[in-house]
Amino acid sequence: MNNNKKEELITFILNSTNEISLSDREKLTKLIRPAVGMKTQSIDDSKIEIGKSKIGGKPDLPKNFIWPTFENKSLLFCAQYNLSEIQVFEEDNILPNIGMFYIFLNINEKWNQFSVLEEDYQFIYSESDQLFRVDYPKDYGVNWSFKSATISYFKYYTLPHDENYHLMTFNEKNKDFYFHFYQPFKEFMEEELFSEVNNLHQILGYDNSIQTSVVYDFAAKELNLYAKGGSEYQKRWDEILKLSKSYELLLQLDCDDSNTDLRKFGGSGIFYFGIKRNDLRIKNFKNICMSFQMT
């Protein structure tokens, strides 16, 4: 995957439709943002080199690492991402060149699914390169582990979600913007540019949200309005909109990936991890926000 993909995307946008003015199509090309996509391959955990990016299996952790818990219960290890593997595909050099991202999630045992409303998850950044494959804690349930899959990265490109604030003026100005432009654009991305990829794992770029743009979820969480909806959400929409502009997508973890079995607790949903723009600039990963969407 190289910049030829970006050039193809620009060409498509410029030639996509006469229903939208050429000047607006040119503005849309300026919104293209690089991201890092992921391909996964199911493989036995014992065959994966320690420290490699992967979903599931047993984590590779620094010495003396304390396994994350919530209310004295161990969280479930879901994925690890080696940033040195990502570096070559990350165009804007935003992320650290070394270290690991780890994702640990909680399970609601009553409903046999991931817990998605509480702050009972851990997104961890570690700079250590001295790693050891660690067994699961003693309180791990028999069904709590996930089959392992390796991750390979590639350059990916994104435009804002059709309901993202970046596209508001285009939606207001152009009647049927979604049908004239956005839907064909998505189809071109999925069927032509990246047809070999069948998951929505992603690092950086604009969110590839299932529902509305997830930056609004991040803002609603900060305002204690997440998943509440209704009149209070609408009444404070201006606050949500303003705050959403301070967030960036850091990472997406797609549960509906046939090479993993995260779907046994996550169904067809995606976990989105967001970060404040200023925190990303200084590489501070201590205040990561999480949202979950599903079809």
Domain 3-293 is in which class? mainly beta
Q: Is 262 left (phi over 0), alpha (psi -120 to 50) or beta?
A: alpha
Handedness of CA 243, 245, 186, 172 (dihedral sign): positive
d(CA 161, CA 37): 16
CB 223 within 8 Å of CB 212: no
**What pLDDT digit, counting tens, does each position of 138-188 carry?**
999 989 999 999 999 999 999 999 999 999 999 999 889 999 999 999 999
Q: Are 19 and 174 in contact (CB under 8 A)?
A: yes
Q: Cα separation of 65 and 62, whole Å?
A: 6
Q: CA 276 to CA 291: how far, in whole Å?
A: 14
Which among 292, 285, 160 is positioned nearest to 221, based on CA atoms?
Answer: 292
Q: What is the DSSP code (8-state) at residue 56?
A: S
At residue 3, the pLDDT reads 65
Residues 11-28 have a mean pLDDT of 95
Q: Average model confidence (pLDDT) for the chain?
A: 94
Quick one: tokens of 74?
């161990």
Supply the pLDDT for residue 1: 43
Q: How far apart are CA 278 and CA 6, in angstroms?
A: 27
The lowest-confidence range among 1-10, 146-155, 255-264 is: 1-10
Q: What is the pLDDT of residue 230?
A: 78
Q: Three-state secondary structure along 96-155? A: CCCCEEEEEECEECCCCEECCCCCCCEEEEECCCCEEECCCCCCCCCCCCCCCEEEEEEE
What is the SS3 assignment for 274? strand
Task: Count Cα atoms within 13 angstroms, Cβ side, for 169.
Answer: 5
3-state secondary structure of 278: helix
Strand, coil or helix: 45? helix
Give the helix/strand (H/E) hosting 249. strand 247-254
pLDDT given at position 198: 87
The residue-averaged pLDDT of 15-44 equals 96
CA 285, CA 94: separation in Å to the nearest integer? 12
User: How far, in Å, CA of 177 to CA of 170, rounded?
Assistant: 7
Share of the chain above pLDDT 90, in %: 89
How far is C-alpha 83 from the chain's CA centre?
15
More confident residue, 257 or 196: 257
User: Structure tokens of 60?
Assistant: 């590779």
Q: Distance between CA 195 and CA 193 in Å, rounded?
A: 6
Q: How many angstroms separate the CA atoms of 74 and 138, rounded? A: 9
Poorest-pLDDT segment among 160-169, 221-230, 268-277: 221-230
pTM of structure: 0.95
Q: What is the DSSP string of 165-211?
A: GGGHHHHHHSTTHIIIIIHHHHHHIIIIISTT-----EESSS---SS
